[in-house]
Amino acid sequence: MAILNSKTNPSDLDIYNHRIKKKINLIWVTQFLNLIKNKKEISKIKNLKINDIGCNLFQFYKGIKKKKLRYNYFGYEFDRTYINYGLKFFPELKKKYKLANIEKINFKTCDVSVISATLEHLNSPFSTLGNILKSTRKMILLRTFCGRKNIKKLYYNAAYIKKPYYINQYSLKKIKEIFKKYGFSKITIITDKATHGECIKMHSEIRRKFYILQGLKLKKGL
């Protein structure tokens, strides 16, 4: 994973810009916000602290802002291109993000961590997930490619991308084991509405399926 080194094609950036300009939230953003809202013990926390891992152009923050939610947001991203574009739309976030290789840092303590379409691109996903969970007090929402087994795939095709990157798949069993290791004993596997729970093609060569995993830390004795 190249730190602060954009792998984004200009055409992809056009898509991201279009999405950030749209007045409606992305489907996964709405789904995540509803999952947070529907857990009263989470949503009622004053100054709810949320870490957005792999924040891209701050799509999740856009959803928070649009719904006028009073959440304390902080984003993490390794690609400066995304951050620079995102700050054009949300300049108020100039001190609410960290530009870094998320596989090599510690995260701020938060109540909720959200991570969408990011974990599958990491070289050391399980140790990174552990660091995320260690920093999270109440809930994690993870959206990534899962299946029956772990598949580590470094992909490159010059017709589609500028540099090689991982398009991994993770065993649901393995992810659940890591959640439990860090105290997230209540785990729910949720259908991803954005992809209708179906397999999608990545660059016409790789098939993957998004799952959403919600992990909750329960109070002792519950």
Report whether pLDDT(144) > 50: yes
Outline where DSSP puts E strands in 37-128: 49-53, 72-77, 97-99, 110-116
Alpha-carbon span 161 to 85, nearest angstrom: 20
Residue 140 in tokens: 């994690």
CA-CA distances (angstroms) from residue 29 to 16, 59, 106, 133?
14, 7, 24, 20
Report whether pLDDT(194) > 70: yes
Phi and psi at 10, nearest 5°, equal -55, -35
Stated pTM of the model? 0.90
Report whether pLDDT(1) > 50: no
What confidence score (pLDDT) does residue 204 get? 78
Domain ranges of the chain: 10-216
Q: What CATH number has the domain spanning 10-216?
A: 3.40.50.150
pLDDT tens, 109-118?
A: 999 999 999 9
What confidence score (pLDDT) does residue 66 get? 94
DSSP labels, 56-82: TTTHHHHHHHHTT---EEEEEES-HHH
Task: For residue 143, give the 3-state DSSP assignment.
Answer: strand
Handedness of CA 88, 3, 161, 122 (dihedral sign): negative
Alpha-carbon span 101 to 94, nearest angstrom: 18
pLDDT tens, 149-182?
A: 999 999 998 877 888 999 999 999 999 999 999 9
Alpha-carbon span 138 to 216, nearest angstrom: 6
pLDDT band at 221 (very low <50, low <70, confident <90, very high): very low
Rg (CA), the chain: 17
